[in-house]
Amino acid sequence: MNVIQSLINKAFVNSEKATIIPIHRLQNVRNEIDQFKHNEKLNGFQKWIVDDLYTFDVPNVGFSVKSIILIAIPHPLYANVEFVYGDRTYNFLSPVMSDFENTENDLKKGLSSLKYQVAAASKIPLKRLAVQSGLAVYGKNNISYIDEMGSNFSFVGYYSDIPCDDAYWTDVTMASECTNCNACLNNCPTQAIQKGRFLIDNERCLSYLNESGEPFPDWLPNTVHHCVYDCLKCQIVCPMNKEQKNNVVGPIRFTESETNNLISGVGFEDDSDSFQKKAKYLGFHQWPDGIAKNIKVLIEVGNQENILTS
């Protein structure tokens, strides 16, 4: 680990893991993605990701950008969430957000004495950069994993003016743990993970289907739903997450009136502070239409399956 990288890591006190890569690697990734677009048959969502989601030109951030700092911020594997509705309490799972604000404050504090600057880099392919720089590995489910964190983190990236020598760089490969394992493929409720192909069919992935406010497609059985958003099944069964099984929070409870507000799409900012705190912690504010749709279908089906024991 170089001196700068060890200084960056020292900035964090909440078990984040970070790496720094030279800015020119962003252009390597752009070229590889261009090549990839021509070689692979992509669905509409994948085409949108490669054509429109990312920005490879470095914006004017007020300083000369020399590197990218990639940080993985931990979060629990999931939260148990309770919704009171009618005369019943329903229990479902939800992802949990990382504390991005806290990490940014620590990073800025840590670097300020060194007179370096950072600016958020939100539209770069963080997961791919993390894998190619050796911070993470890809699983067969296209989720990324880090030693001692499993898949329980979210990435954040910053442009910085910290000089960075060329560092470790590798092709996109799959984790060695996947070689003799098909646990995610066998447990995927929508057959989104494909045998013999690295790319999952992300238009079949529940996380894609339930984050949108669009109606669920006809081919999707109601019985597959178990999460307020996202899915988590392939992460919960993954051996690379075995140390994370107990990293779970909750129950986090929503009263009947809060549940009704979530279902009817009442603006998050119109509810109480305690509601907003819970909703933000769980990330509900990101997908208000999807959350309303999902809670409705979860309650309709009355699906209280415990996916840890299924």
Q: Which residues bind ligand SF4 (CB under 6 A)?
A: 139-141, 175, 177-178, 181-184, 188-190, 192-193, 200, 205-207, 231, 233-234, 237-240
- State the Cα–Cα distance between residues 94 and 295, nearest whole angstrom: 11
- Residue 69 or 234 having the CB closest to ligand SF4: 234
In this structure, which amino acid lies at residue 146?
I
Q: How far is CA 123 from CA 57, 156, 166, 272, 283, in A?
A: 10, 10, 22, 32, 19
- Provide, rounded to whole angstroms, the least separation between the CB of residue 51 and ligand SF4: 22
- Residue 71 or 238 having the CB closest to ligand SF4: 238
Q: How far is CA 125 from CA 30, 108, 129, 163, 234, in A?
A: 9, 22, 6, 21, 22
- Residue 124 or 188 having the CB closest to ligand SF4: 188
- Residue 97 or 143 having the CB closest to ligand SF4: 143
- Provide, rounded to whole angstroms, the least separation between the CB of residue 130 and ligand SF4: 16
- Provide, rounded to whole angstroms, the least separation between the CB of residue 268 and ligand SF4: 24
- Residue 159 or 208 having the CB closest to ligand SF4: 208
- Provide, rounded to whole angstroms, the least separation between the CB of residue 184 and ligand SF4: 3
Give backbone dihedrals phi and psi of 250, rounded to 5 degrees, phi first: 115, -175
Nearest residue to ligand SF4, using CB?
139
Q: How far is CA 79 from CA 91, 105, 233, 283, 288, in A?
A: 10, 25, 13, 11, 18
- State the Cα–Cα distance between residues 288 and 292, nearest whole angstrom: 6
- Provide, rounded to whole angstroms, the least separation between the CB of residue 177 and ligand SF4: 4
- Residue 134 or 265 having the CB closest to ligand SF4: 134
Picking from 167, 157, 154, the residue whose alpha carbon sits closest to that of residue 124 is 157
- Provide, rounded to whole angstroms, the least separation between the CB of residue 96 and ligand SF4: 15
